[in-house]
Structure 1
Amino acid sequence: MLCITSQISPILATQRPTTITPTYTDFLKTSCKATLYPELCYNSLSTYTNVIQTSPEKLANAALSVTLTTTRTTTDMISRMSNGPGIRPSEAGALRDCLEELNDAIYELQESIMEMFHIKGSKKLGLKINNIQTWVSAALTDEDTCMDGSSGGEAMDGKLKSVVRGRIVNICHLTSNSLALINDYASSMLN
C-alpha cells in the first residue's frame, strides 16, 4: 500500500491562527513523529497549531479535515481531467473508476468527522473510536484501489498516470497520517 469542494471542519474554519506558540508547535512535531509521513503531517497541519493547541482530539479532527479537503480537491481535478480534451476512452474509464473509489473515500472521511463531533461524553466511546478507525481505514483502501487501477496497465499515458498517481499518493499519505493520529487519540482516551 503506497498510501477533499466543501469547507474545512467548523472547528478549523472558525479559528484561523495568527501566531504560533512554541509549545503548540512542539506538540504537533512530537505527534507527527508517530506517523509514517511526519514531514507531510507537520506541513499540512502547522497552520492550525493555535487551534489544535495540545489536544489530541483537535489534532485528529484537523488531520481528518485536511485529508477530506485534499481528497475533494483531488476528486474535482480527476473529474475535470476525465472529461478533458485529448483523453482516450481507456484513460477516461480508468479515471471514472478512480473517481468512484475517491467518492467512497470522501463519504467515509465525512462519516469519521461526524463521529468525532459526537465522541465527547459518549457512553460508547470504544465503539465510536472503532467506527472512526474503520471508516478511515476503508478510505485508505479506496484510495489505494484508485491508485492501483489508475497506475496499472496501459490505461493511461505516462504523464497523465504520473499526475494522478502523485495526487493519489498524497491523499493516501494524509489518510495514513490521520489514522495514526486517531490511533494516538484513541489510546489517550481509552487508557
Structure 2
Amino acid sequence: MGGPSCSVNVLVALLLILQFSTVVNPTSDNTTTPFLCKADTKYIRRSCRLTTYPELCYNSLSIFAGKIKTDSRLLAHAALNVSLGAAIATSVTMNKLSRINGLNPIVAAAVQDCVELIDDSVYELKNSVSELGRARRSQGPDFELQMNNIQTWASAALTDADTCMDGFAERNMNGRVKNAVRIHIVKVEHLTSNALALINNYVSAKSASP
C-alpha cells in the first residue's frame, strides 16, 4: 500500500533539498581564485545591473572576480559556464526523477520530455562556452557570426528550460514532482537569462570599441 508512492515521496523530498554544487570553472587552469579586488567586484556588480536577476548574477559570478577583472568577454564566459554547471546538475536530477517507480503516466511523460530538453540545453550551452572561448581571436564578419551563434544557442537553451516547465502546467500534475523540477529549472532559466544579457553587453562593448 505505501510502496511505490512512498519511494516517490522519499526521493522527491531528497531532490527538493538538493542544492546546486556543480559549477564549471570559467578558467582553463586549476589555480585558486586570487584575492578579490574591490574594483573587480564593483565591475561585476555594475554589469549585473543589466540582467533580469542582478543579485543571482552577482552572487554566482563575484567569486570569479579575480579572473574576470573588468573584461566583459570573461564575464560573459563565466556566466555561461555557471549556467552550464546548473544545467548539468539539473540533467542529473531529471534522470533520477525519470527512474522513479510509480509516477503517474502523465507526470512520467513530462519528466521524460524534460530529460531530453535539458540535455539539449547542456549541448547548446557547451557550444556557447566553446565558441565564446574562441571569440577573442576573431574580427569583423567572423566575430559577428560567432556572436550570432552564441546568442542563438543561449536563447535556445533558455527556451528548452521554459518548455520543460510548460510540460507541468496541467492541474493534475503531481505537486511534489512539479516542485522538484521547478527548483532546478528556474535556476537554469535565471542563470541562462543573465548569461544572455551579459553576452549582449559584450557584443555591444566590442562593437563600440575602435
Q: Report the Cα offset of residue 80 of structure 1.
A: 0.4
Q: Report the Cα offset of residue 166 of structure 1.
A: 2.0
Cα pair distance change 1:10/1:64, threshold 3 Å: closer
CA distance in 2: counterparts of 1:111 and 1:155, whole angstroms: 36
Letter of the 1:98 counterpart: C
Render the CA deviation track for 1:108-154: whole Å, top value 9, x for unaligned: 111111111211221311111111111101111111101101x2114
Identity percentage of aligned residues: 42
Q: Does 1:130 align with 2:148?
A: yes
Name whichever of 33-42 and 153-162 sits farther off: 153-162
Q: Under a length normalisation based on structure 1, what TM-score does the superposition of the two structures give?
A: 0.91
Q: Does 1:11 align with 2:27?
A: yes
Task: Write out aligned runs for 1:39-188 (5 A).
Answer: 39-123=55-139, 124-149=142-167, 151-154=168-171, 156-188=173-205
Q: Secondary structure at the match of 2:103?
A: coil
Letter of the 1:17 counterpart: T
Q: CA RMSD in A?
A: 2.0
Letter of the 1:38 counterpart: P
CA distance in 2: counterparts of 1:148 and 1:13, whole angstroms: 38
Kept in 2: contact 1:5–1:72 (CA 8 A): no
Provide structure 1 residue ranges, at least 5 long, that are not aligned to the other structure.
Answer: none
Letter of the 1:128 counterpart: Q
Runs of 4+ residues over 4 Å off in structure 1: 4-7
Kept in 1: contact 2:33–2:66 (CA 8 A): yes
CA distance in 2: counterparts of 1:108 and 1:57, whole angstroms: 18
Match of 2:7 in 1: none
Kept in 2: contact 1:16–1:51 (CA 8 A): no
Cα pair distance change 1:33/1:15, threshold 3 Å: farther
Name whichever of 23-32 and 152-161 sits farther off: 152-161
Bigger Rg, structure 1 or 2 = 2
Kept in 2: contact 1:52–1:59 (CA 8 A): yes
Provide structure 2 residue ranges, at least 5 long, that are not aligned to the other structure.
Answer: 1-19
Match of 1:190 in 2: 207
CA distance in 1: counterparts of 2:88 and 2:171, whole angstroms: 26
Q: Under a length normalisation based on structure 2, what TM-score does the superposition of the two structures give?
A: 0.83
Kept in 2: contact 1:102–1:142 (CA 8 A): yes
Kept in 1: contact 2:48–2:55 (CA 8 A): yes
CA distance in 1: counterparts of 2:133 and 2:121, whole angstroms: 19
Letter of the 2:119 counterpart: N
Q: Secondary structure at the match of 1:11?
A: coil
